Structure formats: C-alpha cells, structure tokens
Homo-oligomer: A and B are copies of this chain.
Amino acid sequence: MLAAIGVGSLEELFERQIPAELRLREPLDLPAGMPEQDVYEHLRALAGRNRSVEEQLSFLGAGMYDHYVPALIDMLTERSEFLTPYTPYQPEVAQGGLQVMFEYQTAISELTALPVSNASVYEGASAVAAAAYMAKLHNGRSSIVVSEALHPHSIETLRTYARGYGMQVREVSTRDGVTDAQAWAGAIDADTSAAIFAQPNFLGAVEDAAALSESAKAAVAQDGPVVVAQVDPITLGVLAPPGECGVDVAVGEGQPLGNRLDFGGPSFGLLAAREEYLRRMPGRIAGATEDLEGRRGFVLTLQTREQHIRRERATSNICTAQALNALAGVVYLSWLGRRGIVELGELVLARTHYAREQLAAIEGVEKLHEQPVVREFALRLDADVDAVRRRCLRSGVNPGLDLYALSGRERDRGGLLVALTERRTRADIDRLVEVLAAAIEAERPAGAPAEQLLA
C-alpha cells in the first residue's frame, strides 16, 4: 500500500505532507482508550447523576414534553437501514429514506393544513429564524415583528440570526397572557417582513390566531407581512391549524412527536407553508416521480434552492438536518392516526384544565392569565418560586418551570409554567397539588394575603 502511494513509511507519508513544525510532537492529552464495557459503565455512571423523568414526577415542559414514545419507534430508528445511511443523494439506494421524507412532509402538511412542508429543519427555535429568512427572501423587507410570548430561546435565536440577516427584531408585548392585539397591529408596517406569534404561546395560552393573522395582513395597505406561527404539533388535533387561520408559514419543535427528551436534542423542527413559499424554503424536500418503467419513486426535489447548487444564493445554508428524528415524527403521527391525534389532544386538554383549576384553588396560587390553555399553563405563586420548587423537588416532584429563571424578565417573577402530557395521570396531578400546596404554605410570607402581594 505504501509502495502504491510511493512512500517508504507511514512516517514519511506525514512528513511529506504536514510541515514538521505543525506536527503534534506529543500525543493528545486525552485518557487512554477503554474496552466497550468500561465505556458503557462510565456513561452509565454519568447517566446515574442525572435525574430523568423516570425518577421524578415532572411537570416540566416549556418547549420539550415527556410524551410516551411507542416502542416501535425505537425499533425502527435503530434499524441499521434507517440509522446509518448517508444523506439520500443517490435515490436508487435510498428509496426508503426518501419515501419516509415524502410521507413526513405529507403528515406535516395535513397537520398544519398548509400545502407544502420540507423534510425538517434543526429544531423549533432556529425554525423561527428560518421562517424569517424565507420572509426576507420573499419580500425583501427589513424588520421582524415578534410576539414576546414566544419561547425566550426562540426570540434569542431569532435575534442572533437576524443580526446576520441585517434585520431588526421588534417585540410585541402581551396582555392577559396573549399577544396584545393593538400593540401587534401597531408594530406592523410596510417595512415588516414577518410577523411571528406562537400557538399556544409560551405562557400556555391559546392565541386568537386567525385574528392575529388578519390584523397583521390588514395593518399594511398592499402586501402584508409574512405571517409566521410557531406551533406545538401535538396540540393540532384540537387547535385550529395554522393553514386555516391565515398563517403563511408554520414552524415548530417536533420533539413531542415521538422523539425523546435527550436533554434538549436532537429532535427536529417542522416547517410548512403556503404554496407560494415553496421555492424559498430551506432544507431538503422529497418529491414523487416515475422512473423509466413507470414505477413510482422518490427524489430530492427543487435542489436548485440548495447550497450545493446555488451556493451563496441558496435559500439557506442548512444541509444535514434531522432525517432520523423526522422519521420518528411521521411514525408517531401514523401511530396516533387521524383519530388518535384528536383523542390525545382532548385528553391532554382535559387534564390540563383539571390541573390548572386544582392548582389555582391552592391558597397562594393564581392563574397568570385567564386564556384557554391546552397543554401547559402559567401560574403566579405568592411565594419565592425557587424556594417552593426546591421543596417540591425534595418530595420527588418537579412542579414545572420557574419562568423568571428561564427568561430573566422581571415580569416573569413569581411565574411557574406547568406542562401536562398523557403520561401525567390524575393521581400525579393530585400529588402535585398536594406537594405544591404544602411547599407554598411553608414558603409564603407569613400572614400576607395573596391579593395584596399580587396587586
């Protein structure tokens, strides 16, 4: 082999290529290699120092949710044929993966009631930024109006990307838990490229999506902004879908659809749009075609949008994205099925309502807003949230997210965001009520009636 290359030794091969002064003189300062069993034990020990949702009754949500992942998804995503292949640039050896993409797109399209979907983007927060770039490519305008009731990470991500796009981001405030309709309409002008809201929003409230879309479009005489909704796919069995609410581009975090929590990733971002945005979409899109013998097949389509061909004029730089996670997503949606997604939505809706009412009945707890909620809701505690949470944690219950701890915004002080899934039973909710009530009782400023403090 060395002879074929024309060098006398491995050493020579490197000497002749890498300038001597750049070659590492000492081995990397890393531990020695380990046998498989030792690596496993090491990683198991690390896992043991995390408290997973198996070891804690957890009501954490805020973007990622502990839904049950059916066992068949693991089986499929662990099949070598799905797990290990390269990107399907060669359709003749990748028909399976391409068809999965096609089916995924169809499912997302049905779910959002929007005619076109790509094959996934990275995740939910950067999906918002991706939608903003689509808007920029579409109308060339320079500002983005965004409801402050998006997940803070989504807004932060949007801001990072927007600096690159050379666009300004304008946040619209909320009123009683939802985007302030007046402020929203007022913020949008002829320079607004995209107007973005979340459904349900970060505080768990269901927005009047149709009204927001309509007022956004109506705010500009001629051509309104691109209306973008960040949706939670699991709620789309019960909530009016973006496509029926005047939304142009829907994005969202796909994790609730059959993806595990994984401490935040990998999961996938969904992205669907009206037909006219098809050629502005980022990422891969699979299409159906026929081969020479008339057999149906699938290919990556509209590749001229992509960076391989269009380079600096591509609609996006996104390349490797989330094929395997999107597979889990479409299998999950097929597992639920047409009826199941509605039933699951109704179930979570009912439990969310129950939990909210029970918790709000605790002395020292009130609803942060009165809007309808579907899977998550914000409360305001008349006590130090951090201290209350610590008490609950000691009882094995994670009561949800300290809003202030995540957002750092003053107005979120006292806020607790509680999420439900089909995994949290009524007994679990009742336990939360009990534990939270005790914790608040213990932490509440002595004698102070809730009304005063909350005023």
Identify the A interface with B (CB < 8 A). 36-37, 40, 44, 54, 68, 70-71, 75, 78-80, 422-423
Q: Which residue of B lies closest to A83 (CB)?
A: B75
With contacts A78-B78, A79-B79 known, is A71 near B423, CB below 8 A?
A: no
Decide: B79 and A423 in contact? CB cutoff 8 A: no
| 7 shortest interchain CB distances as A-B pairs | A37-B68, A36-B70, A37-B423, A75-B78, A37-B422, A79-B79, A36-B68
With contacts A37-B423, A422-B37, A423-B37 known, is A80 near B71, CB below 8 A?
A: no
Which residues of chain B are near A44, meaning CB under 8 Å?
A: 54
Decide: A36 and B80 in contact? CB cutoff 8 A: no
In angstroms, Cα B33 to Cα A288, docked, is 41
Decide: A80 and B75 in contact? CB cutoff 8 A: yes
Which residues of chain B are near A71, meaning CB under 8 Å?
A: 36, 40
Could you name 6 residue pairs across A and B whose Cβ atoms are closer than 8 Å?
A36-B70, A37-B422, A40-B68, A44-B54, A75-B78, A79-B80
Closest-CB distance, A50 to chain B (whole angstroms): 15
Closest-CB distance, A335 to chain B (whole angstroms): 9
In angstroms, Cα B422 to Cα A40, docked, is 13
In angstroms, Cα B287 to Cα A258, docked, is 44
In angstroms, Cα B71 to Cα A80, docked, is 13
Closest-CB distance, A40 to chain B (whole angstroms): 8
Q: Which residue of B lies closest to A70 (CB)?
A: B36
In angstroms, Cα B40 to Cα A40, docked, is 25
Which residues of chain B are near A36, meaning CB under 8 Å?
A: 68, 70-71
In angstroms, Cα B80 to Cα A70, docked, is 16
Which residues of chain B are near A40, meaning CB under 8 Å?
A: 68, 71
In angstroms, Cα B44 to Cα A37, docked, is 24
Which residues of chain B are near A423, meaning CB under 8 Å?
A: 37
Which residues of chain B are near A37, meaning CB under 8 Å?
A: 68, 422-423
Closest-CB distance, A423 to chain B (whole angstroms): 6
In angstroms, Cα B418 to Cα A348, docked, is 52
Give 4 A-B pairs besides A37-B422, A75-B80 with Cβ atoms closer than 8 angstroms. A37-B68, A40-B68, A40-B71, A78-B78
Closest-CB distance, A146 to chain B (whole angstroms): 36
Closest-CB distance, A439 to chain B (whole angstroms): 26
Closest-CB distance, A429 to chain B (whole angstroms): 16
Closest-CB distance, A309 to chain B (whole angstroms): 37
In angstroms, Cα B37 to Cα A423, docked, is 8
In angstroms, Cα B393 to Cα A216, docked, is 68
Which residues of chain B are near A422, meaning CB under 8 Å?
A: 37
Q: Which residue of B lies closest to A76 (CB)?
A: B80
